[in-house]
A and B are shown apart, each in its own frame.
Chain A
Amino acid sequence: MTMRRAAIREIDLLAYADGLLDADVVRKEEVEHYLATHPEAAAYVAEMRSQNEDIRAHYGPLLYEPVPEHLVAALHTAGRRTVGRRLAQIAAVVVLLAAASLAGWLIDQSERSEQWGLADFVERAAGAHHMAVADAAVAGGSEQGMLQPLGWLNQRIDLELSAPDLAAYGFSLVAKERLGPDSDPFVRLVYQRTDGTTINLLVRPRWEEASSGLGRATVNDVSVLYWLDGPLAFAMTTNAADGETEQFARAVREAVGRTRLNDGAPTMARSPGTGMAPAVGSEPLGGLKPLRPQPEPRQQGGTGVQVN
């Protein structure tokens, strides 16, 4: 018996018009059969193809314009320019610090060129401290729901990241969820201990490679520990006693430090069921596995992430 596939929708017609069904022969044939019996849909597809041809005709010639020399040169001189830029940035910072002490707008100027706001992230971590865990993300929810947030994170910056194991401190991971707007999303991991102690760990991707030491900030009476680790930023809040807080943060960082490179294994987000991180609760010891960018060829076989 042949399995009946989903009805043809507008997105199928668009994908067909855009030539994206070539790899799905069965679906392509279904769409073609549908078009043969639905003239309006066929006209729609023809118009979409016409749009595509017009767009290519309009912008196509731009590809053949000569490339300005300074763009090619940028590939050769980027390193030198970076040094120059950094010097200029240092000089600018000195000037800004002096000005800020007078004008008091240091915070606004602390934004990095990439618009990445550490202060915002720390504020969000403080805001998430009392936030209830979304039902779908709580342990016991669907496996897919539990894995998606980290899968998304891994795909976004091409890492292989699974949740750090804090079992040595009596904590179990009870939720993973993706929070924040599409423009600035992050992942929240929630750990709980039988005595009611909770740890909120927020992880956010960023396009930087530098790391930082452990920092602490207090926002609305919530103490937030934060640190930068290459392409990831971490912020942690907990209701544990003060003495334990830094200990837990260091435990997470230590897990990062124990990571090893996973040469060539598929990222967990790529294909559910194959190569994905195990579900919560079944995660092997080792906590965070590879937590660093994919190595360049010359770096293969290197050690784990450098954590200060």
Chain B
Amino acid sequence: MDDLKWAIARQIPHLRRFAFTLTKDPTEADDVVQDCLERALRKRSLWSRKGSLRSWLFSMLYRTHIDYCRRQRRLGATVGPEVIDTAIHHPPDQDHRMECRDIGESLDRLPEEQRVVILLVALEGVTYDEAAEILGVPIGTVRSRLSRGRQALRDLRSPTMQHRNLRRVK
């Protein structure tokens, strides 16, 4: 395995996680990752070693995901029950897990464009510039999506948080 393949292999867990947050379906996520890996190897000469390999791969993965969505729309595919967020299966008997379930459900209610930006920044730790590059949008768009998404997340979570606090008092 050459250096680039080795470096790409190390990014697979991050790619799988990003793909899962996009597709919400483990099987489809792995399909997207596999296509992304093959595409990355085909287009390896387009990657400049100056930039972040993860950002380059994320950008390619995001495009692959968009292609999948377009293809599904063309084929008239419908979302099956298995696509429902697996987070709802988390046992709700612990506060910590409940909190996590809340954030997962809340994120899923956001428009994808906002959810993706938040996840890139909060989960993957990319800068706003990198997020703009990955998504192929201006940085101003990233900022506004982030701001709107963060606020929507606050609004979505606050009733649940209050509800939980009431339970705790009781």
Contact = CB atoms under 8 A, between A and B. Distances in A.
Interface stretch (A26-34, A61-69, A137-145, A194-202): A61-69
B43 A207 contact: yes
B147 A10 contact: yes
Interface string B1-40: 1000100110011101100110000000010011001110
A247 interface: no
Interface in A1-26: 10-11, 14-15, 18-20
B122 A58 contact: no
Task: Assign chain B's interface to a size class.
Answer: 35 or more
B122 A55 contact: yes
Nearest to A296: B45
Given A20-B128, A293-B45, A294-B48, A182 B38 contact: no
Interface string A170-185: 0000000000001100
B89 interface: no
A92 interface: no
B131 to A, nearest CB: 10
A222 interface: no
A130 interface: no
B143 A75 contact: no
Contacts of B125: 19
Contacts of B92: none
A82 B141 contact: no
B123 A158 contact: no
A231 B46 CA distance: 8
A-side interface mostly? helix
Interface of B: 1, 5, 8-9, 12-14, 16-17, 20-21, 30, 33-34, 37-39, 41-51, 60, 63, 66-67, 70, 87, 96, 99-104, 107, 118-119, 121-123, 125, 127-128, 133, 136-138, 141, 143, 146-147, 150, 153-154
Contact of A51 (B45, B67, B153): B153
Interface of A: 10-11, 14-15, 18-20, 47-48, 51-52, 54-59, 62-65, 67-68, 70-72, 74-76, 78-79, 81-82, 113-115, 155-158, 182-183, 207, 209, 231, 293-296, 299
Contacts of A48: 150
23 contacts: A11-B147, A51-B154, A52-B122, A57-B100, A64-B13, A67-B16, A68-B30, A70-B30, A71-B16, A71-B30, A71-B33, A78-B38, A78-B42, A82-B38, A113-B67, A156-B133, A157-B46, A209-B45, A293-B46, A293-B48, A294-B45, A294-B47, A294-B48
